Amino acid sequence: MKLDLDQLRELIRLLDEANLTEIEVEHDDDRIRVRRDPAPLPAAAPVESVAPVTAQGPEPVGVSSAPEDDDGAYITSPFVGTFYRAPSPDGDPFVDVGDSVVQGQVLCIVEAMKLMNEIEAEAAGTIVEVLVENGKPVEYGDRLFRIEIG
Amino acid sequence: MKLDLDQLRELIRLLDEANLTEIEVEHDDDRIRVRRDPAPLPAAAPVESVAPVTAQGPEPVGVSSAPEDDDGAYITSPFVGTFYRAPSPDGDPFVDVGDSVVQGQVLCIVEAMKLMNEIEAEAAGTIVEVLVENGKPVEYGDRLFRIEIG
Amino acid sequence: MFEKVLIANRGEIALRVIRTCRELGLRTVAVHSEIDTEALHTRLADEAICIGPAEPSRSYLHIPAIIAAAEITGADAVHPGYGFLSENPEFAETCAQCGLEFIGPLPEQMRLWGDKVSARAMAKSLGLPTLDGTELIEDVEDAVRKAEGLGFPVLLKASGGGGGRGMHVVHSKEGLRAVFETARAESRAAFGNDALYFEKFLERPRHIEFQILGDKQGNIHVLGERECSIQRRHQKILEEAPSVALTDEMRRDMSVTVRRAMAEAGYLSAGTLEFLLDERGELTFLEMNPRIQVEHPVTELVMGIDLINEQIRIADGQPLELPAQPLTPRGHAIECRINAEDPDTFAPSPGVITELHMAGGTGVRVDSGVYGGGRVPPHYDPLVAKLIVHAPTRVQAIAKMRRALSETIIGGIRTNIPLHQRILEHPAFEEGRISTKFLDELHPERMLTAPVRH
Amino acid sequence: MFEKVLIANRGEIALRVIRTCRELGLRTVAVHSEIDTEALHTRLADEAICIGPAEPSRSYLHIPAIIAAAEITGADAVHPGYGFLSENPEFAETCAQCGLEFIGPLPEQMRLWGDKVSARAMAKSLGLPTLDGTELIEDVEDAVRKAEGLGFPVLLKASGGGGGRGMHVVHSKEGLRAVFETARAESRAAFGNDALYFEKFLERPRHIEFQILGDKQGNIHVLGERECSIQRRHQKILEEAPSVALTDEMRRDMSVTVRRAMAEAGYLSAGTLEFLLDERGELTFLEMNPRIQVEHPVTELVMGIDLINEQIRIADGQPLELPAQPLTPRGHAIECRINAEDPDTFAPSPGVITELHMAGGTGVRVDSGVYGGGRVPPHYDPLVAKLIVHAPTRVQAIAKMRRALSETIIGGIRTNIPLHQRILEHPAFEEGRISTKFLDELHPERMLTAPVRH
């Protein structure tokens, strides 16, 4: 692939000049996109407060009620609790990367208040990634598995 | 790939005029998209405070140590006090609009602590505008006269 | 002592508890809903756990999620704040079963005082003065008999109600017949319980409440009174301590009565006994709130104490450190609840706070759960901040609150600051001539048309 | 009473005065330099007048401009704050000549107490305990004689000095000969006066000061003491009230002595008598500051009063409203001066404050002259805010201050918050084992290399 760097520079200059966040140009099979996320300038930060240095512990990660984004679909935790991949400490994992799963199949357990909550697949698909380590705590909405639907 | 920068600029102008955040145009195999994310405007305001409604009274006007801007040169007040255009209540004004003045010529009086401070022209020129009413208070740096130098 | 406290709440009270925990060297766990991921309590706690979506029933009211959050963080105590689960005996019991110290009263005390009829009976048996009232009503004919026995006007109340909900003023037999079945159905729908009873209706009472603390050694302290007569539809808006309506003698006498009654009841932790004060100067028991209250700071300021600190000490089994004799108030304190709502229509005004400048200086305390750039979600209480002032006299406290309100800037949402300013400028308020009808009489037309908010 | 007060100052103290004026229903006029056009005092006053460029000598110290600002706004009283013109007798006299009520002491009192030698002689004659010292020194030989009479180590002080400036510790005759002429030249350059004298040098004293108020009826109130031993090069950094080093008896005895002395001196308005406390428990007079002081809020919090309010009442000719017997402190208060400076090198750090979150909650007071987005100019004192806490005990106050500092976020400039945190975590500070040498001993190497700041 041959890059026309000058053209690219021209686009970036334009982006800056016009204070844009994105320019995308497509022509035949060519496509150029330049993008700059809105700068988190000092003033764009929360105005009165920011998280103090003392705030620690489990960061709420990617809590998303829309389970699908660019990278595929996610199974998120509907409970706060402890994540287990197998029905018993020495049992085999319910699923592993590469496994095909059917709708309703048990993928893992989230334990809370001594109750073992089985988390089921909402749709058929293939497990692409296991995102939480066995025995680790999870929050509501934490991503547990990445799954390719279908 | 050939960029039509003028067309792009036209699109950006349109984006601005209509206060949009995105324009996307697709034609045959060509596609152009320009995008500007909503600026974090609110957060760009003073972070903790703004002037409260109770703040009133004389607004500090155009306090400028550089007496010259687009509109010409200004004679500013070097004192806080009361502005008088004439040497006595029934006297003639020292100067009026249209008068030519020479360097060192007395233009007005600013009274403070019963002292009559004579304000002199720093350079020769023509009085274009008298900016403060006779007998009104002035702050340090307030513009008193607009003058055309030369 | 326990070492890590989970705060089962949000907003300013969660922050309030976090602050005292930090001063005591206790670690803190915030729980939050998805919409509160950036909330101030989430940010200021040592740890934060997302427990569910924005709907309270699936997060802040969802007991299993809160207990699970305590489990995975290793918290060993829970502070419930006010509202949400603070008066839920099942929650307190579940905490105990899971080995978590519940920082609040015992579940049986919540049950006892939570039911309005049993509370009134208990109060009477403990020697507290009660408003003339009746037993539970059987049917509409029984209602007419009981109401005539008590004498109109009467207040028809739901036994399961509270916080001003489930009440009807009835002026005549006809009115009673017209409203009775509706009231019963409402009560059933709102509280799952259609038991109703009558109380004598006072036209223009003042709302006076006494703050108490009880420890595990059985000591009870009465920490003076607050006056909370400025209410809109039984929602308190502005509170003060002490009340101008009480003489030193009334305060002393009622403190003795309350202390004796609560010692006999074996009450533990912080609680508030609410009274009505009629125009003849009689105090009668209204209800007992077994929790910390929104307006507790006015007591803290005039008494020079930290009530959350005392709650924590009590839960840990330590005796109260307060002197044995009643503390006397120093100066006067006023609290304004700053709500995200239209000051005229009272419609909620959630949104993003674009600018925030809270008042400061001598005698000004700010308890806030928000920050500039932060969001006030529509799912919860509209309280965004409490502005509290303390000055040597009531006149000075009023002047200070006016000054503090004039400095306060909250941009991006509407707030009830203009309403507070109207209250504080009103001659009747300045003279202390107030009652729970004050706001109705300030804006009679508005009170009729404004939407009900529960 | 006067109706419009001009505040001849800037920063937090200007705001402090504006706030009390507003509470009293007085209108306010801010004066400001060009660079302070957007400053908070400029914004919060009822009126604001630009009086000159950024340089203090042409604005905040420029008497004609301030008087002219009062003339054009119709102000009828002036509050000088602290610093700038607050101890300038010519300014007080000019105000009086122009018909402006000066809210502070009489010019002759400023003259009396402003000169260190006459102040010490006056204090002695009024029965205040003074440190052994000498008359003015004639020449180097006289210096050697006088120093040997007093006994080394001695402190060589400039009569015109103050606030810790113009002092040299001398340990031997040789050292004295080496430093004498330099000290005389420095004094002449800094204070326009080369008069020097000796005082006994204390190795590790504590700084204790008593707050007083005198009214036009001749009443003097002594409002307890403050301890300000945490200093860097005689600049106070952290202050508290009461002092752990005083017993009730010492406090009572010195209050009686101070009241009698100040009544005899006919002192008017707010003032502070500074003492050194040596390791044997002896208090000796250091100097008298005829003005309100930076650290006055710690006294306000433990005494429950408003000192600016009292200053205004006094200027108006009203008697003090305080009870006749000495007020007793309630709880413990600590103030941290938050300066825009590097916490390690102490180099000033002016600039734009990009983020600001000040602490809140129970027992926290914030007196600040800045806002998020505002600028700290390089021309003035680096004090950007005072964080002040109040709690029942000293231990609780320390915990509260640690908590409050941990919540405070000031972005865009460096501040001395980390230094305060180090002080508050230090075991010796916690135990109250402090002296004016505390910071030197905390960072000995730093104190030697840090730039001098006046």
pLDDT band per the 50, 70, 90 thresholds, residue A64: very low
C84-129, pLDDT tens digit by residue? Answer: 999 999 999 999 999 999 999 999 999 999 888 889 899 999 999 9
Beta-bridge mates of residue D394: none
CA distance, residue B40 to nearest chain A CA (Å): 6
pLDDT at B57 over 80: no
**Phi, psi of D228, rounded to the nearest 5 degrees:** -130, 45
D27-33/D4-7 β-pairing:
parallel
D395-414, pLDDT tens digit by residue? Answer: 999 999 999 999 999 999 99
**Rounded Cα gap, residues C233 and C237, in angstroms:** 10
Chain C CB contacts of B53 under 8 Å are 406
pLDDT value of residue B17: 65
Mind telling me the catalytic residues of D? 291
pLDDT band per the 50, 70, 90 thresholds, residue B18: low
pLDDT at C453 over 50: no
Which strand (E) or helix (H) includes residue C186?
A: helix C173-191
Mean pLDDT in residue range C267-276: 97
Of C300, C372, C392, the CB nearest to D305: C392
C220-241, pLDDT tens digit by residue? Answer: 999 999 999 999 988 999 999 9
D9-22, pLDDT tens digit by residue? Answer: 999 999 999 999 99
Q: Is A32 on the interface with C (CB under 8 A)?
A: no
- Say how far residue C310 (Cα) sits from the centre of its chain: 18
Q: Is A49 on the interface with D (CB under 8 A)?
A: yes
Chain C CB contacts of D305 under 8 Å are 392
Q: Assign residue C11 a region: left if phi > 0, alpha if psi is -120 to 50, beta otherwise?
A: left
Average pLDDT over chain A, rounded to whole? 75
pLDDT band per the 50, 70, 90 thresholds, residue D65: very high
Tokens 């901040």 — which residue?
C385
| Catalytic residue chosen out of the listed positions C10, C259, C291, C394 | C291
Of D372, D406, D412, the CB nearest to A47: D372
pLDDT value of residue A35: 73
pLDDT value of residue D8: 98
CA distance, residue A138 to nearest chain D CA (Å): 28
Instruction: Choose between A46 and A2: higher pLDDT.
Output: A2
Give all chains having 3 or more CB-to-CB distances under 8 Å with chain A.
Answer: B, C, D
**Phi, psi of D362, rounded to the nearest 5 degrees:** -55, 130
**Cα torsion angle, C435, C439, C445, C448, sign:** negative
Which residues fall within 8 angstroms of residue C423, CB to CB, at 6 or more apart?
C230, C237, C238, C429, C438, C439, C442
Q: Assign residue C357 a region: left if phi > 0, alpha if psi is -120 to 50, beta otherwise?
A: beta
pLDDT at B62 over 70: no
B64-102, pLDDT tens digit by residue? Answer: 333 455 557 999 999 999 999 999 999 999 999 999 999
CB D210 within 8 A of CB D272: yes
Long-range (24+ apart) CB contacts under 8 A made by D86-94 are: D86/D9, D86/D291, D86/D292, D87/D114, D87/D289, D87/D290, D87/D291, D88/D63, D89/D114, D90/D63, D91/D8, D91/D63, D91/D66, D94/D63, D94/D67
Q: What is the CA radius of gyration of chain B?
A: 26
Q: Is A16 on the interface with B (CB under 8 A)?
A: no
**Rounded Cα gap, residues C449 and D241, in angstroms:** 53
pLDDT value of residue D317: 95
Among A82, A113, A136, pick the best mutation site for testing chain C contact (most C Cβ within 10 A).
A113
Query: For residue C404, which of D360, D284, D178 has the smallest C-alpha distance?
Result: D360
Among D12, D15, D19, D366, pick the best mutation site for testing chain C contact (most C Cβ within 10 A).
D19
Which residues fall within 8 angstroms of residue A13, CB to CB, at 6 or more apart?
none
Q: What is the largest CA-CA distance in chain C?
A: 62
Instruction: Choose between A15 and A49: higher pLDDT.
Output: A15
Query: For residue D120, which of D150, D162, D82 has the smallest C-alpha distance?
Result: D162
Tokens 């003060």 — which residue?
C240
CB-side neighbour CA atoms (13 Å) of A9: 3
pLDDT value of residue B35: 75
| E strands in A37-142 | 68-69, 72-76, 81-84, 100-101, 106-112, 115-120, 125-130, 137-138
Q: Side chain identity at C163, as an amino acid letter? A: G
CB C76 within 8 A of CB C101: yes
Mean pLDDT in residue range A101-116: 93
**Rounded Cα gap, residues C325 and D118, in angstroms:** 50
Mean pLDDT in residue range C309-336: 87
Instruction: Give me the domains of chain D, ranges plus CATH numbers.
Output: 4-103 (3.40.50.20), 132-200 (3.30.1490.20), 206-449 (3.30.470.20)
D179-202, pLDDT tens digit by residue? Answer: 999 999 988 888 888 899 998 899
D254-291, pLDDT tens digit by residue? Answer: 999 999 999 999 999 999 999 999 988 999 999 999 99
**Rounded Cα gap, residues D126 and C244, in angstroms:** 45
Q: Is B20 on the interface with A (CB under 8 A)?
A: no
Cα angle value B139/D38/B138 (rounded, 5°): 5
Mean pLDDT in residue range A19-24: 76
pLDDT at B42 over 50: no
CA distance, residue A83 to nearest chain C CA (Å): 10
Mean pLDDT in residue range D127-156: 92
For residue C81, give Cα distances in angstroms to C88, C292, C337, D362.
Answer: 12, 7, 16, 15
**Rounded Cα gap, residues D443 and D340, in angstroms:** 19
Beta-bridge mates of residue D33: D52
Which residues fall within 8 angstroms of residue D441, CB to CB, at 6 or more apart?
none
CA distance, residue B65 to nearest chain A CA (Å): 29
pLDDT band per the 50, 70, 90 thresholds, residue D325: low
pLDDT at A88 over 60: yes
pLDDT at B51 over 50: no
Instruction: Choose between A82 and B60: higher pLDDT.
Output: A82
**Rounded Cα gap, residues B47 and D318, in angstroms:** 41
DSSP A87-108: SSTTSPPS--TT-EE-TT-EEE
Q: Side chain identity at C173, as an amino acid letter? A: K
* Interchain contact, C19 vs D361, CB within 8 Å: yes
pLDDT at B58 over 50: no
pLDDT at C451 over 80: no
pLDDT at B49 over 70: no
- Say how far residue D45 (Cα) sits from the centre of its chain: 24
Q: Which two tokens stand for residue C223?
A: 């920490």
Give all chains having 3 or more CB-to-CB distances under 8 Å with chain B.
Answer: A, C, D
Give all chains having 3 or more CB-to-CB distances under 8 Å with chain D.
Answer: A, B, C
- C183-193 burial, b at 16+ Cβ within 10 Å, e below that, comes to bbebbeeebee
Average pLDDT over chain D, rounded to whole? 92
**Rounded Cα gap, residues C177 and C166, in angstroms:** 17
**Rounded Cα gap, residues D357 and D347, in angstroms:** 23
C4-22, pLDDT tens digit by residue? Answer: 999 999 999 999 999 999 9
pLDDT at C184 over 70: yes
- Say how far residue C152 (Cα) sits from the centre of its chain: 29
Q: Assign residue C361 a region: left if phi > 0, alpha if psi is -120 to 50, beta otherwise?
A: left
Which residues fall within 8 angstroms of residue A88, CB to CB, at 6 or more apart?
none
pLDDT at D23 over 60: yes
Q: Which two tokens stand for residue D142?
A: 């006289």
pLDDT value of residue A23: 80
**Rounded Cα gap, residues D327 and D299, in angstroms:** 11
pLDDT value of residue A65: 35
Search chain B and give the residue with CA nearest C353.
B42
CA distance, residue C44 to nearest chain D CA (Å): 8
pLDDT band per the 50, 70, 90 thresholds, residue D308: very high
pLDDT value of residue D321: 74
CB D41 within 8 A of CB D7: yes
Neighbours of C3 (CB within 10 A): 11
D214-251, pLDDT tens digit by residue? Answer: 999 999 999 999 999 999 988 999 999 999 999 999 99
CB D34 within 8 A of CB B140: yes
**Rounded Cα gap, residues C99 and C92, in angstroms:** 11
Name which of A29-33, C112-116, D85-89, D315-319 the model is least confident about.
Answer: A29-33
**Rounded Cα gap, residues A148 and A125, in angstroms:** 5
Residues of C with CB under 8 A from a CB of B: 352, 354-357, 372-373, 406-407, 409, 411-412
pLDDT value of residue A55: 31
pLDDT value of residue D337: 98
pLDDT value of residue D448: 41
Query: For residue D454, which of D194, D111, D190 has the smallest C-alpha distance?
Result: D190
- State in Å, rounded, how far the first CA of chain C is from the last one: 38
* Interchain contact, B80 vs D72, CB within 8 Å: yes
Provide the 3-class DSSP secondary structure of residue B101.
Answer: strand
